[in-house]
Every structure is written in structure tokens, then in C-alpha cells.
Amino acid sequence: MHIRFESHRRRFVLALGAVGLATALYPRDVRAQAPKLRIGVIGSGHIGGAIGTLWVKSGHEVMFSARKVEEVKDLVASLGPLAHAGTVAEAIAFGDVVFVAVPYAALPQIGQDYGAALKGKVVLDATNAVAARDGAITEEATRDGIGVTSQKYLPGTRLVRAFNSMSNQIFTREANRPEPRMGVPIAGDDPQAVEVAAGLVRDAGFEPVVIGKLADAKRFQMGSPGFGQSVTAAELRQKLAPGS
């Protein structure tokens, strides 16, 4: 199993290189679909289950995890051979990319318990901080910006904010709609990780809209103009254009 993971890891590193090369050589609209990846999902409830399902349907291999693995077994059984159930540690080890979809207050514990395993991984972070559920950390995320705060609690990860801005029902309903597709805002500091995230947004059935760095993720965090906008990519760019 370890050898299988390692050889896959080498392929992923080569694929990342290819993405970087494609980024340099081709304009956005003629780039190839993202290579098929292994994705580990931490938190497989409403949003983790919904987005993970879209990735399985587009051919990616996904390991769904939660603290209680039995809770993801029905979902996995319904999705066929590309879907797996595992512990949080197993999902991190499995994933070329890790999708984090837990209550915001769980981030410090996840960073502490799995920091070494997560180091260097491309992490797509869909979390939102909600005072009623997450308590004091919400104030920090609101004050400092959620992207910067997530990166603080998941240090050493190549973090990209993605899939936080709409409900799981909207993502499920609007995925793969006829062009123009729904725009999904993303932001990150690591350009290659942002490219990987953009590919995974496309594969889930949407059009990625790169808003900027992690510090810019506040522009589509809860309560901001980019949050809750189920609009096309062009409309989203217009709404979030500087000065608008």
C-alpha cells in the first residue's frame, strides 16, 4: 500500500509540473482537464459529501473521512469503486489533495493532530466561521480574514480557499449546468496549488474565478459581497472587480 501511495505521489508531482508548464504555455481556456487525482476529504457531511460526490462522478478517486468512519459508509457504498471510507489520518495519507470541510472550530485541532502529515499538501479549504457554532475563533477569522486564519491553523499546507461561498444544495443543483457555468471564487498564495484547485473546480462542474491571495479570500467569506453568489464567472468577476 505504501509503495502504491509513493508511486502515485511521484505521478502527482509530475502532474503538478505539467500543470505549471501548461499554465505557462497556454491561455486558461485551452488548458487540458486536470489530471485524475486522489482526494482525501476531512469532514464528509453536507459540503464534504456534496463536493466529494461531484469529484467521484468526474473520475477522481476520493477517500471520505470523519471522526466516526461508520457515518461515511453509506455515502461511499452509493458512489462505487472510486469512493473509499477511512479515518482522517488515512484520508490525508491517501490524498494528493485534501479537502477540508469541518466546522471552523475544529481547524486548530486538525492542524495540531495532523500537521506533519498535512505539510506540503495542496489543501482546499471550504470552511466558514459561524459564531453560533464555532465560538471565539469566528472573531479572529472575521478580523484577520478567513484565508489567513485558516493558513495559521494549518501551517505548511498549500492552502486554497474554495467551495465555501454557497450551500451544498446549490453546488449539487448547479454543477455541470450548460454554459455559462456557475462561477466559484477561489484564492491562495501558492500559484500551482491554485491551478490544481481551479482544475478541481472545473471537474466538479463550475468555472473557477481566482480572486487573489489568501488575504483576498475575505472578499468571499461569509458576510462579504462575494459570498452566496450563484452567478456566472463573468458576473462574479464584475461584482468583485476592484472599486465595485
Ligand X SMILES: NC(=O)c1ccc[n+]([C@@H]2O[C@H](COP(=O)([O-])OP(=O)(O)OC[C@H]3O[C@@H](n4cnc5c(N)ncnc54)[C@H](OP(=O)(O)O)[C@@H]3O)[C@@H](O)[C@H]2O)c1
For ligand X, the binding residues (CB under 6 A) are 42-48, 66-68, 71, 88, 101-104, 106, 109-110, 126-128, 130, 164, 167-168
- Closer to ligand X by CB, 110 or 236: give it: 110
Q: What's the min distance (Å) between Cβ of 164 and ligand X? A: 5
Q: Which residues pair with 223 in a beta bridge?
A: none
Q: What's the min distance (Å) between Cβ of 48 and ligand X? A: 6
Q: What's the min distance (Å) between Cβ of 41 and ligand X? A: 9
CA dihedral over 190, 191, 194, 200, signed as positive or negative: negative
User: Rounded distance, CA 173 to CA 101, Å?
Assistant: 19
Q: What's the min distance (Å) between Cβ of 242 and ligand X? A: 25
- Closer to ligand X by CB, 19 or 123: give it: 123
Terminal Cα distance for the chain, rounded: 51
User: Rounded distance, CA 240 to CA 236, Å?
Assistant: 6
- Closer to ligand X by CB, 54 or 66: give it: 66
User: Rounded distance, CA 152 to CA 140, Å?
Assistant: 11
Peptide bond into 180 cis (omega under 30): yes
- Closer to ligand X by CB, 19 or 100: give it: 100
In the 8-state DSSP scheme, what is residue 143?
H
User: Rounded distance, CA 85 to CA 74, Å?
Assistant: 9
Q: What's the min distance (Å) between Cβ of 165 and ligand X? A: 7
Q: What's the min distance (Å) between Cβ of 102 and ligand X? A: 4
- Closer to ligand X by CB, 223 or 242: give it: 223
> Taking every pair of C-alpha atoms in the chain, what is the biggest distance, in angstroms?
52
∠ Cα 208 47 156 (to 5°): 70
* Residue with the shortest CB distance to ligand X: 45
∠ Cα 127 193 239 (to 5°): 60
- Closer to ligand X by CB, 53 or 127: give it: 127
